[in-house]
């Protein structure tokens, strides 16, 4: 009985630890690749927007993000804006990020917009 409890505690500790790593990695990737256009807070007002013909999406807006399902978000990150009939200014990140990392970013975006 005591052994089972210990196993359960260890399992939850491992789960907490691995999810912390997952989200840290997604946050790092968001900073490295997305901040430059989508901004430090994800509001779409990044450093580069001044001369952009199309403003980057506001990732903090449930309205702007709610209409896209996770599969769309995965596709647009991996293949770029044109893949979902959006702007060419959104580049494809499929050569920079693994599929797992892109799934992590999708989860991170859901956290930013607090929407599903």
Partner 1 sequence: MKYLILLFVLSIAGIASADEGLEILQKRCVGCHDIKGPAAQSVQELWQRKGPDLFYAGSKYNSEWLEKWLVTPRRIRPAGYHAIQHIQQGKKRDMIDTTTLRPHQGLSASEAEEVTKTLMTLKASAEIMSTAVFKGGNISASFGEMVFEKFNGCVACHEIEPGYGGLSGPEVYTAAKRYQADYLVSFISDPQLWNPKTPMPNKHVAAPNIQKIVQYLQVLAKENWDEKK
CB of 41 to partner 1, least distance (A): 7
For residues 89 and 115, which CB has a smaller minimum distance to partner 1 in the complex?
89
φ, ψ of residue 68 in degrees (nearest 5): -110, 130
Residues binding partner 1: what is the number (CB under 8 A)?
29
Given 61, 92, 110, 115, the residue binding partner 1 (CB under 8 A) = 92
**28 lies in the site for partner 1, by CB under 8 A:** yes
Q: What per-residue string of b and e applies to 71-110 under the rule 16 or more CB within 10 Å gives b?
A: eebbbbbbebbeeeeeeebbbbbeeebeeebbbbbbebbe
For residues 2 and 64, which CB has a smaller minimum distance to partner 1 in the complex?
64
**49 lies in the site for partner 1, by CB under 8 A:** yes
With contacts defined by CB under 8 A, name the span among 4-12, 14-22, 32-40, 107-115 that binds partner 1.
32-40
| Token representation of residue 89 | 């200014």
**61 lies in the site for partner 1, by CB under 8 A:** no
CA nearest to 57, candidates 39, 78, 70, 84: 39
Q: Containing H/E element for 77?
A: helix 70-79
Positions that interact with partner 1 (CB under 8 A) = 28-29, 31-33, 35-37, 39-41, 45-52, 80, 87-89, 91-96
């Amino acid at each position: 009985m005591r052994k089972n409890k210990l196993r359960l505690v260890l399992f939850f500790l491992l789960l907490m630890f691995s999810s912390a790593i997952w989200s840290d990695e997604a946050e790092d990737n968001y900073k490295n690749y997305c901040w430059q256009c989508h901004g430090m807070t994800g509001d779409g007002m990044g450093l580069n927007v001044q001369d952009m013909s199309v403003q980057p999406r506001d990732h903090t807006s449930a309205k702007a993000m709610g209409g896209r399902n996770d599969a769309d978000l995965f596709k647009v990150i991996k293949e770029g804006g044109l893949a979902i009939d959006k702007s060419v200014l959104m580049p494809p990140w499929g050569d920079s990020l693994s599929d797992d990392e892109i799934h992590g970013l999708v989860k991170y975006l859901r956290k930013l917009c607090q929407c599903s």
